[in-house]
Amino acid sequence: MNLRSIVLLSAIAIGSTQCKKGNGGGTEQPGNDTVSRFAPVETAPPNTNYPSAFEGQTRIYGIKTFTPLKVEVLTSSLSNPWGIEVLPDGRFLITQKAGTLAIVSATGTIENTIPVSPAVANAGQGGLLDVALDPNFSQNRMIYWSFSQPVSGGNLTAIAKGKLATDWNSIENASVIFQATPSYNGSLHFGGRMLFDNQGNLLLGTGERSDLVTRPQAQELNSHLGKILRIKTDGTPATGNPFLNTSGAMKAIYSYGHRNVQGLAMDRVNNVLWAAEFGPLGGDEVNIVEAGKNYGWPVITYGKEYSGATIGSGITQQNGMEQPRYYWDPVVSPSGMIFYTSSQIPEWQNNLLIGALSGTHIVRLRILNNKIAGEERLLQSEGQRFRDLAQDNMGNVYAVTDQGRLYKISKL
């Protein structure tokens, strides 16, 4: 049911065709691509005075969507949704944190909810997390879900898989195929975002479980914590993983030095993997992820402790550690994200769209030659914690929020 519909004509309604002067003012013309530059969207003071590594690494110039948009709330009745997939028939498969999968019609009717097995550890940031469709879902109906699993010693991030029954009422032959070890008795930083790559391998972002005692494991190759992992659909390490022949290393590791990865998106044309992760007080990051690379946490960061204390040595750069392509200070809390591929909304084509939790908006990052070239805040007036995003074949964008809403964004 369409509970509410609004029309966004922001850039047109204000009659803005001229760029603001000052920081970011002007018009960029890379090839045949022309974009108007506006003032940076972030106006609040930063938490740190760290200098960025290069121009445009943070507080890039603002951009605007001039295509009129239609924004609909399809339902407000979801219960703590976390992950969303568009099914081949136009319906949605949405995870709900307490441990159920919701089957939602294309118009927003919740048709069914299916409990997952085994049980999830629904506490703090844990619970039922993301969902991914098998690349051959139309033939095999296989789905994968990530969740915090209670185990000896506490809990951990796990992946299970099973077949969605043809009557949509159950999951058949569910089994856990992967556990991100070691376990820990905590309720924070499970990561949990999943994505299939161009080779049919399953990627999983994990967190370092937040606490000072586990934080160093983001730098350790004998732990799955604070990593991006790459596995086959049977849960074994993917062929070609960078540490398959490294003694003592976890073979599923693809990259390391991450804090808490909840955003993964693939530029499938250029085979480029993008990731977003939460920083502490400042220092949310967007990275291009490459096999075997070290992304620095907790040795380097553009943030500081929530207490205001310096993290480690208070450095932002170190040899052998990758710089983020972009970071935020103050944070926006970047969660699920997509690489928008449609021409329906032409300004968004080949851009990153990212759900922001504490930022309560959808981030639009324009990408040019694998660099960030402009930032926009979308749906900020909605006041929602945007948890995950999806795109259908028509170029419509869908977003779920912590408050239980499912949004549809399309060209008017």
Active site residues: 189
Closest by alpha carbon to 315, among 50, 131, 109, 135?
A: 50
Given a contact cutoff of 8 angstroms between Cβ atoms, the answer to whether 95 and 145 are in contact is yes
Burial class from Cβ neighbours inside 10 Å (0-12, 13-18, 19+) for residue 25 reads middle
How far, in Å, CA of 321 to CA of 100, rounded? Answer: 39
How far, in Å, CA of 293 to CA of 281, rounded? Answer: 24
How far, in Å, CA of 145 to CA of 130, rounded? Answer: 6
How far, in Å, CA of 366 to CA of 340, rounded? Answer: 10
Query: Which amino acid, 187?
Result: S
Q: Please enumerate in sequence order all residues whose Cβ is within 8 A of that of 318, keeping only pairs 6 or more positions apart, or say none.
A: 296, 299, 300
Given a contact cutoff of 8 angstroms between Cβ atoms, the answer to whether 155 and 183 are in contact is yes
Q: Is 40 helix (H, G, I), strand (E, B) or coil?
A: coil
H-type alpha helices, 54-160 = 137-140
11: DSSP letter: H
Q: Which residue has the tokens 């048709």?
A: 111
| Token pair of 108 as six digits | 């927003």
How far, in Å, CA of 276 to CA of 33, rounded? Answer: 26
Closest by alpha carbon to 326, among 295, 281, 296, 371?
A: 371
| Token pair of 19 as six digits | 């760029």
Number of CB atoms found within 10 A of residue 27's CB: 10
